Structure 1
Amino acid sequence: MKTKDMHRNDTTSLWRWICKRLISLAVGSIIIIAFLMWVRFYVENKWHEYRMPEDVRAELSVLIKHPEQNITRYHEIIDTWYGIAYSDPRMGVVDWMILGVLVLIFIPVIFWLTLRTARPVSLHISRLAHAARAVSEGGFGTKVPVPDTLPLELRSLSENFNGMSMQLERYEKDLKKSHVIMAHELRSPLTAAIGRLQGVIDGVFEPSETQLGMIMRQLNELNRLVDDLHLLKLADAAQLNLTLIPTDLGKIIREKVAWITPSANKSSVNITCHGAPGVTCMADPYRIGQVFLILMDNALKYAADGGILDISYEITEKDVSVVFRDHGPAVSDEFLEDIFTPFVREDLSRTRHSGGSGLGLSIARAICHAHGGNIAVEKNRNRGLTFRVTLLRN
């Protein structure tokens, strides 16, 4: 937490980071060279003063402050003890030689300090390049260290790269897992249909209406799975076509409740609708009805023990929410985070009178997102879950 706070407070950009170090290096070098030149003249001056007799030194100190008192004597002392060339305003050969030596000494020092300053940045960019190459070759999850001494842009770039790499690793694991589950889900009805059909061909089963009906049910289940997977892929690619028109959500709810009531009676579930909002929103009636039917069917399958499914509305100026609240056994907090993930089911938490492929809630979320809305779930205070479908009114 301390490191994150420090990163948040450090706003040094890459440009400022480079400029600050290069300017500091240049100014520092000039100051050191000027200081050494000053030391050279200071030492030489002290040496000449040291060689003077005491009375001449005292006389010169007075004339330095007031040379107009005896300008001739002032130049006489300077020429005698400092040399005639001392009064020459031009830089002497020795001065140029000293300056040249200092420059020659400081050039490699400046180069060394510059390389030393740029080395961490160059090294980190090389690490990023190697990590990016590893990710491009399939090494998802590859990370680079993020030193605190780097400028803000490089730290941010590195942290975003690490986040992207970890996200790709999670996507890859989820994709492999979903492929395995998908193959299993598709194979089950297909194997059952092939086995039953092969039995009819081999004469094990009579080609009766019952046998053919069993085969047809397996093929219908397979077809439903393929349609559901196709819908999810269309939604992921933002290609799910919707016919958005002003839609009365209350009317659709009543239609779906009437449709599912026979199944609810068999499961001893009482569906109650609260309020008559009469509020319309821009939605695809077929697709949004599909969402409502999925949530009702989900409650009958996994929350029938609660005996009640409450449907209510929450309305604001911007959106309208349809709330489905059951009173059956809830799910674990860990599963709640993945409840909308395709093929995810928690068999231990809720009674599995009917299985399903685990795609229903994923489809509901995909349809809601395609509408520009949202679907959320939370655990009730006592028992059960609450699903909230939120759609924009305009």
Structure 2
Amino acid sequence: MKVSLAKKLLLAFIGLTFVVLLATLSLARWSFEQGFLDYTNALEQQRLTRIAERLSSLYQQRGEAWSAISSQELNQYLDDSLRPPPPRHRPPPNDKLRPPRSHQRPETALVNTQQSLLAGQLPQAKESDWIRVPIRVKQQTIAELITASKRHFSSPQATAFSKQQWITSAIIACVAMGLALLVSIRLTQVLLAPIRRMLLHVSQISNGDYHVRLDEPRNDELGRLMKDLDRLTHQLEENQSARQRWIADISHELRTPVTVLIGEIHAIQDGLRPLGMTQIHSLEQEVERISHLIDDLYQLSLADIGALRYQFYPLLLDECLINCIDKARVSAERKGLHIVLENIQPAWVNADAQRLTQLFHNLLLNAQAYTDAPGTIKISQTNTDDQIILCIEDSAPSVNAADCQRLFEPLYRQETSRNRRNAGAGLGLAICQKIIEAHQGRIAASPSLLGGMRFDIFLPRYQETK
């Protein structure tokens, strides 16, 4: 049996209220009973004090000897103390009745200093529960009055009063539980309202509707959760748009060389162009372009799913960099570009040599493709205690600073002065970022002071463990 969150909250509120109410009423009841019994015992203490004063006077009048006072007279003193006090006004002449005794006579005893019983009856309770009041004459204790303290309600009046208090407490508890039920229902509705909105929102997201937003102006935890859901929805919407752009861009990139291939083949078939080495070389270039695009897509897909293999071992970063520069120098000079090295020095890194070579090759190829001749490609190095910073920058043209980080998005290229006249599919920088991240580093793009682009590569230095 499934219990809804609303029922759980309602039961929790009602249960908590019941426990708190039960504890409060129980403590109040216990406090009342203890206070009432303490009050009764205080009255009994006062009664014994009055008897002690009267017996002290009687003792002095009879020559300061208990033997001069009969036990019947002493018992009469004890019995008279049980009657209520006389009225403040004289009773009518025909009312000759004495005030009645209290309903239940407490056990009261008079004992001398040797604890011998002089009058009355010793209480049946334990001595630890006795109330003792000394009788003094001339600062000397001559006897004691003893009675039992109250530990429970014994008189009918007290029992009836206690029962009435129980009934009143039960009525208060029922009224409080009724109010708690109403408040709990309303509170549950208020708390669950935003949760139900979020459930509906998640249901819409799961159905592919990424345009809905909660936009709830709350500052509590539920408000933060709603904002997180809105950010998630926005991210899913962007991912969907990126996926659609990705498919469209890939289709476009594949369609261009395929269209050229089909055109060349049709021209040869129609006899418009002879089948010679020139035509074969042209067809080969388009096939290589398709092959390069497919290989880049494959590499990027492997990097996205974490399946790109790496073999890490300590190596000198400068040696790997110099080898890549030497291979790129000839093609760069052929395009009228000059490669400048600055502060390249030995530095150890824990890396995959093949992937670092791919990284430097892509960055140098990107610089050659998007730098006007005559131009400059500058490569510099900075070492710190824990990382190596490589800077690869080129001369004009450049891109807007706001678009620099978007260069690492797959298939992204800006249609500005850094045009796509010599460009590939726009996957090289995305692959570079994946390689850097696999090496626990990062790469950043920004406009260069030379007028072109600047790429800063941050790699952790290899720390030899002893």
Higher RCO, 1 vs 2 (CA within 8 Å, ≥6 residues apart): 1
| 1:137 Cα offset (Å) | 1.8
Q: CA deviation at 1:286?
A: 2.3
Superimposed CA distance per residue, residues 176-210 of structure 1 (whole angstroms, 9 cap, x where no aligned partner): 11111111011110111122112222323222121
Question: Does residue 134 of the first structure (1) align with residue 208 of the second (2)?
Answer: no
Q: Secondary structure at the match of 1:388?
A: strand
Counterpart contact for 2:17–2:177, Cα < 8 Å: no
Deviation at 1:112, TM superposition (A): 1.3
Identify if the C-alpha distance between structure 1 residues 283 and 72 changes in structure 2 by more than 3 Å, giving closer, same or farther. same
Distance 2:356 2:219 in 1: 52
Q: Which moved more, 1:215-224 or 1:154-163?
A: 154-163
Counterpart-to-counterpart distance in 2, 1:305 and 1:382: 13
1:288 maps to which of 342, 345, 356: 356
Highest Rg: 1 or 2? 2
TM-score (norm 2): 0.65
- The answer to whether the 8 A contact 2:21-2:173 is kept is no
1:205 match: secondary structure: coil
Is the Cα–Cα contact under 8 Å of residues 246 and 281 in structure 1 kept in the other structure?
yes
Which stretch has the larger CA shift, 339-348 or 267-276? Answer: 267-276
| Structure 1 residues 202 and 64, CA gap change in structure 2 (3 angstroms) | farther
Distance 1:85 1:352, change over 3 A: same
2:381/2:390 contact within 8 Å kept:
yes
The 5 Å alignment of 1:1-394 reads 72-73=83-84, 86-88=157-159, 91-92=162-163, 94-146=164-216, 148=218, 150=220, 152=221, 154-304=222-372, 307-350=375-418, 352-381=420-449, 383-394=451-462
TM-aligned CA deviation for residue 219 of structure 1: 1.0
CA distance in 2, matches of 1:33, 1:366: 68
Provide the rounded CA distance (Å) in 1 between the counterparts of 2:16 and 2:216: 25
Q: Is the 8 A contact 1:142 1:166 kept in 2?
A: no
Unaligned runs of 5+ in 1: 1-16, 38-62
Distance between the aligned counterparts of 1:104 and 1:149, measured in 2? Answer: 36
* Conserved 8 A contact 1:322-1:388: yes
CA distance in 1, matches of 2:22, 2:215: 36
CA contact (8 A) 1:330 1:379 kept: yes
The verdict on how the C-alpha distance between 1:340 and 1:22 changes in structure 2, with shifts beyond 3 A counting, is farther
Aligned-residue offset at 1:264: 1.8
Whole-angstrom CA distance in 2 between matches of 1:356 and 1:287: 19
Query: How far apart are the structure 2 equivalents of 1:236 and 1:220?
Result: 24
* Other-structure match for 1:49: none
Q: Give the RMSD, CA atoms, in angstroms.
A: 3.7
Shifted more, 110-119 versus 177-186: the winner is: 110-119
Q: Greater helix percent: which structure?
A: 1
Q: Distance in 1 between matches of 2:165 and 2:311?
A: 88
Q: Which has the higher strand share?
A: 2
The equivalent of 1:9 in structure 2 is none
Query: 1:390: how far off?
Result: 2.2
Checking the alignment, whether the CA contact within 8 Å between 1:303 and 1:351 is kept in structure 2 is no
Q: Which runs of 4+ in 1 moved over 6 A?
A: 20-24, 30-34, 63-68
User: How many Å separate the matches in 1 of 2:306 and 2:441?
Assistant: 14
Please state whether the residue corresponding to 1:339 is helix, strand or coil.
helix
CA distance in 2, matches of 1:25, 1:149: 27
**SS of match in other structure, 1:91:** helix
Q: Secondary structure at the match of 1:320?
A: strand
Q: Could you tell me the TM-score, scaled by structure 1's length?
A: 0.75
* Percent of pairs with identical residues: 23
